[in-house]
Amino acid sequence: MNTHSTDLKVFGENISDCFLYFFHEGGQNRITSQLKGLGELDTGLITILGTFNLQSLDLTTSINELPLSYVNPLISKNSVALDGEINGVFSIDGSISEPKITGNGNLDDCSVQVDYMGTKYYVNGNFNVEPDAIELNGLEVDDGNNGGAFLVGTILHNQFKDWNIDISLNAEETPIELMKTPYSPERYFYGTGKAVGDINVFGYDNHIVIEANLETSEGTNFVLPMDVVSSSDWSSFVEIKDGLEKS
Q: What is the dihedral of CA 195, 72, 84, 207, to 10 degrees?
A: 20
Supply the pLDDT for residue 64: 92
Tell whether the model's pLDDT for residue 26 goes beyond 80: no
Percent of the chain with pLDDT over 70: 87
Instruction: Give dist(CA 122, CA 70) in Å, integer.
Output: 17
Instruction: Give dist(CA 181, CA 218) in Å, integer.
Output: 17
Tell whether the model's pLDDT for residue 188 goes beyond 90: no
Instruction: Give dist(CA 208, CA 231) in Å, integer.
Output: 23
CA atoms within 13 A of residue 231's CA, in its CB half-sphere: 1
Rounded to the nearest 5°, which phi and psi values hold at 73? -65, -20
How far out from the chain centre does Cα 31 lie? 30
Percent of the chain with pLDDT over 90: 35
Tell whether the model's pLDDT for residue 53 goes beyond 80: yes
Tell whether the model's pLDDT for residue 103 goes beyond 80: yes
Tell whether the model's pLDDT for residue 11 goes beyond 60: no
